Chains A and B, each alone.
Chain A
């Protein structure tokens, strides 16, 4: 029987076979959201009527016998950083309160064309700046595994929605780990595709050279299906890669890793990582060996500078990207009393509309780009970026994929790190180098940490536009883990609803 606990591919096939209508499936998820979102708070906006309309359209096509995409009729949760025509889009910020985009992001267009039903917009750290959703202007999302903990961030709402069975698939964005880290913390699969693999058109920019849209799902295959649905060249995004989309669905189904070389990144597999995280990580390596893979150790000595460089590049770009939020054309306007000049109103609005972390990064970036400091900060950070890329190139000359734990710890408590930005930044230490190099990576749930019973994620990385490799490894390992556990990892999560 198909229900909200099924996988997306099961749902799509049931819809196609008319075992369940897309409208019924969508209603079931809308009910689940009503039932559980008071506890989880994944959504900032639920588009009930729009979702049902999209579902109806899919059902009508099925009735007419039209051919459908592999995800037609399946509900999805959309991170509130993607523009969707007519739907409130805030990027988690007060400054965009009330803004309804007049256009669709390319990813949204593709989802609509694929017959995917968009349930609503999910919570996130303001402008994707954060690792916990605590920086959202609209409240924190709770981790479905433990409501006192964060689901990670910035795409925490999307991850929590999938983990809480509010949606089988979701879209996030990943600038320094914002898909992989919440996926790891909520026990689901999340992928940051190769930079340029998915169009950024219509994605509210945080750091243009690092941002990338990607899929969340509960299985590797579902993640691959969503990945293929949204990927591909877009002439509206000059940085999108004009090359065939990697065959990720085929790779996810392949189910073997014989002869593959798995590179363990020395700098990201020891000190600073929670014991339970390392234990699950090492078990995963053993499983991969038992499936015929070979483990090699690689070293990436420049990763230790990656975090510092990231916190120069990302805020620099953000300081410029966020300049457009000035109250002149859309969004919040504060202090316009008919007497004040435009510049003053801009300033008052920006002070009222941006949260603390966003202001911190705007100030940091403005400073780093200032004349006299540019070379020392932005310039040096770009050099580190080149070195990190070279580290990856060297590592990939020895291994087909690279692996590490996604995060140093399992899900942390709400409030635990919110007053210590550097501690918060450190939770992205393993994910940030990936964005710096523009390669892709997957976060795969590989078990629960013994000490706290919370999910642990394995990060699997591949060279530029070789995203199929981590789907191949992820799919194989997922199958091996499932046969070991006998049930999916989320079966261990607390039941949130009555069902």
Chain B
């Protein structure tokens, strides 16, 4: 018989362990000054250092150290006053030096934690995930295996190598084992990676795009019979490329392992690959014969000894934890759950907050960013924040509130700003978009409208108020929308003896 997920967790206690690799968004690589931009022509962002040419030497990117310390501080780690790089030796064509410069027994950040909250059957519950270490290393190049059916090296006709990625700064964040999650292991895993991603984004140290590989998660899972107090053999699942996949990979692995155990088979300590389509994992490299990486301290680099004062200065730059901030803002803004979620997903929290700080009313600020500006951004396939600034949006909203702009005019102003016509004031000036509030100007338009539809006017005079709508419409049309409709209505009704 086979166990489903519920059956698996009814019998077995899962233990999690998560390793997250983050590509830092530094302008240059970890040990040389090559650019790090994603998607450049292969092998155009390389130099003697990242190609590992004979004689070339690494020099540590100070910005990468700063980013790593920020990550460590945000994850409540201690920052080592002395840490070193080490060489991890193994042969692979995408590693130019055939060793990876990494940190081994002397990492820069140690002993932190991250609290994550998930929904359980009993309501929200916080799990503490202990962080063992945060360390720096360099990324490898990329291999493209051509020919063969699998796209893997085995069976390929030839392989192409792109070293643009070689030497990009990576930070590895390793948790201690996370026990006691029970059936919530997949949710805890997802919540951890989500929270971590949000923190990294709030620190501004990485693009954290799982689909582009700037955030990669390896999920370690092991099972033991409930109550046994044992720790089972773990598998390590790689190639988990989205938050949803983190959850699926963990639950899939729990199910797979439970069924093996049920059948009296043992769990093999191995690396497994997550398959996006099926949610299953397939075996990769077996780690039964542990590879000997012959780590030793990197003699080409001096130890990293960050100044205590600098660390304290960096500590002051750690922003509020994103989940805490979200909750606070939601209350402050009196924002519905759905809308908050939309803001978070669209990465608009910061700009909306900035707009509000500049005096905009929260509902208007949210509506403008989520509505008109997002619509324009979608049309142009860019991000909303690349179109217009918080200041400009706040100015537009202020003009609406003061009655200088109608919503319709405001949309035109925003459109003008987006089109590069200058500040909202410039656009208003150039396009002549001021609300027509001059009574005499409005009155001539009203008289013209009455003259054009005497019958309608007569109906209004005789008490048919709703008929005024057509006349108001005509006035609005004549003024190009630059009139305040309420004002027009007031003047018109008065003029026709109904005010």
If A370-B294, A374-B296 touch, whether A320 touches B56 (CB-CB below 8 Å) is: no
What 1/0 mask marks residues of chain B from 82 to 93 whose CB sits below 8 Å from any chain A CB? 000001010101
Do residues A320 and B93 form an inter-chain contact, with CB atoms below 8 A? Answer: no
Q: Give CA–CA (A370, B295) in the complex, Å.
A: 8
Do residues B97 and A323 form an inter-chain contact, with CB atoms below 8 A? Answer: yes
User: Which residue of chain A is the closest to B296 with respect to CB atoms?
Assistant: A369
Min CB–CB distance B300 → chain A (angstroms): 5
If A83-B55, A235-B59, A238-B60 touch, whether A317 touches B299 (CB-CB below 8 Å) is: yes
B302 on interface, CB distance cutoff 8 Å: yes
A366 on interface, CB distance cutoff 8 Å: yes
What 1/0 mask marks residues of chain B from 45 to 59 whose CB sits below 8 Å from any chain A CB? 000100111111111
A326 on interface, CB distance cutoff 8 Å: yes
Do residues A91 and B54 form an inter-chain contact, with CB atoms below 8 A? Answer: yes
Do residues B57 and A237 form an inter-chain contact, with CB atoms below 8 A? Answer: yes
B395 on interface, CB distance cutoff 8 Å: no
Q: Give CA–CA (A115, B39) in the complex, Å.
A: 42
Do residues A366 and B53 form an inter-chain contact, with CB atoms below 8 A? Answer: no
- Select B55's contact among A205, A325, A343, A370, beta carbons within 8 Å: A205
A229 on interface, CB distance cutoff 8 Å: no
Residues of A within 8 A of B153 (CB): 341-342
Q: Give CA–CA (A126, B54) in the complex, Å.
A: 14
What 1/0 mask marks residues of chain B from 203 to 215 whose CB sits below 8 Å from any chain A CB? 0000000000000
Do residues A202 and B93 form an inter-chain contact, with CB atoms below 8 A? Answer: no
If A320-B87, A324-B97, A324-B98 touch, whether A201 touches B56 (CB-CB below 8 Å) is: yes
Residues of A within 8 A of B295 (CB): 369
- Select A366's contact among B55, B294, B302, beta carbons within 8 Å: B294
B5 on interface, CB distance cutoff 8 Å: no
What 1/0 mask marks residues of chain B from 279 to 306 whose CB sits below 8 Å from any chain A CB? 0000000000000101110011110000
- Select B302's contact among A235, A239, A319, A378, beta carbons within 8 Å: A239
Min CB–CB distance A473 → chain B (angstroms): 31
- Select A238's contact among B57, B89, B294, beta carbons within 8 Å: B57
Do residues B96 and A329 form an inter-chain contact, with CB atoms below 8 A? Answer: yes
Residues of B within 8 A of A371 (CB): 292, 294
Do residues A202 and B294 form an inter-chain contact, with CB atoms below 8 A? Answer: no
Do residues A200 and B91 form an inter-chain contact, with CB atoms below 8 A? Answer: no
Q: Give CA–CA (A329, B51) in the complex, Å.
A: 9
Min CB–CB distance A310 → chain B (angstroms): 14
Do residues B99 and A203 form an inter-chain contact, with CB atoms below 8 A? Answer: no
Could you tell me which residues of chain B, from 162 to 196, have a CB within 8 Å of some CB in chain A?
none
B159 on interface, CB distance cutoff 8 Å: yes
Do residues A200 and B48 form an inter-chain contact, with CB atoms below 8 A? Answer: no
Do residues B57 and A201 form an inter-chain contact, with CB atoms below 8 A? Answer: yes
Could you tell me which residues of chain A, from 60 to 101, have a CB within 8 Å of some CB in chain B?
82-83, 89, 91, 96, 99, 101
What 1/0 mask marks residues of chain A from 230 to 241 whose CB sits below 8 Å from any chain B CB? 000001111100
Do residues B55 and A204 form an inter-chain contact, with CB atoms below 8 A? Answer: yes
A486 on interface, CB distance cutoff 8 Å: no
Q: Give CA–CA (A314, B97) in the complex, Å.
A: 18
What 1/0 mask marks residues of chain A from 318 to 332 whose CB sits below 8 Å from any chain B CB? 011001111011100
Do residues A103 and B48 form an inter-chain contact, with CB atoms below 8 A? Answer: yes
A208 on interface, CB distance cutoff 8 Å: yes
Do residues B56 and A202 form an inter-chain contact, with CB atoms below 8 A? Answer: yes
- Select B89's contact among A208, A323, A341, beta carbons within 8 Å: A323
Residues of A within 8 A of B89 (CB): 319-320, 323, 369
Do residues B98 and A323 form an inter-chain contact, with CB atoms below 8 A? Answer: yes
Residues of A within 8 A of B97 (CB): 323-324
Do residues B91 and A326 form an inter-chain contact, with CB atoms below 8 A? Answer: yes
Q: Give CA–CA (A202, B292) in the complex, Å.
A: 29
Do residues A208 and B299 form an inter-chain contact, with CB atoms below 8 A? Answer: yes
Q: Give CA–CA (A275, B89) in the complex, Å.
A: 46
What 1/0 mask marks residues of chain A from 132 to 173 whose CB sits below 8 Å from any chain B CB? 000000000000000000000000000000000000000000
Residues of B within 8 A of A343 (CB): 91
Residues of B within 8 A of A179 (CB): none
Residues of B within 8 A of A325 (CB): 54
Residues of B within 8 A of A328 (CB): 93, 161
Residues of A within 8 A of B159 (CB): 342
A411 on interface, CB distance cutoff 8 Å: no
- Select A320's contact among B57, B161, B294, beta carbons within 8 Å: B294
A33 on interface, CB distance cutoff 8 Å: no
Q: Give CA–CA (A341, B58) in the complex, Å.
A: 30
Q: Give CA–CA (A33, B312) in the complex, Å.
A: 62
If A239-B300, A320-B99, A323-B98 touch, whether A101 touches B294 (CB-CB below 8 Å) is: no
Do residues A323 and B96 form an inter-chain contact, with CB atoms below 8 A? Answer: no
Q: Give CA–CA (A328, B160) in the complex, Å.
A: 11
A102 on interface, CB distance cutoff 8 Å: yes
User: Which residue of chain A is the closest to B97 with respect to CB atoms?
Assistant: A324
Q: Give CA–CA (A374, B91) in the complex, Å.
A: 20
Residues of A within 8 A of B301 (CB): 238-239
Residues of B within 8 A of A369 (CB): 89, 294-296
Residues of B within 8 A of A319 (CB): 89, 294
> Which of the listed residues A205, A328, A329 has the most CB atoms from chain B within 10 Å of its own CB?
A328
A274 on interface, CB distance cutoff 8 Å: no
Tell me the A residues contacting B by CB distance below 8 Å. 82-83, 89, 91, 96, 99, 101-103, 105, 200-205, 207-209, 235-239, 316-317, 319-320, 323-326, 328-330, 341-343, 346, 366, 369-371, 374, 378
Inter-chain pairs besides A238-B57, A366-B294, A374-B294, 19 sampled, C-beta below 8 Å? A82-B55, A99-B54, A103-B53, A201-B55, A201-B57, A202-B55, A204-B55, A209-B299, A235-B59, A236-B57, A237-B57, A238-B300, A320-B99, A324-B98, A329-B53, A329-B96, A342-B93, A342-B153, A369-B89
**Could you give 15 example pairs across A and B, Cβ below 8 Å?**
A91-B54, A99-B54, A101-B55, A103-B48, A201-B57, A202-B56, A208-B299, A237-B57, A319-B294, A320-B294, A323-B89, A323-B91, A324-B98, A326-B91, A374-B294
Closest 10 CB pairs of A and B: A323-B98, A369-B294, A208-B299, A209-B299, A202-B55, A204-B54, A83-B55, A324-B97, A204-B55, A324-B52
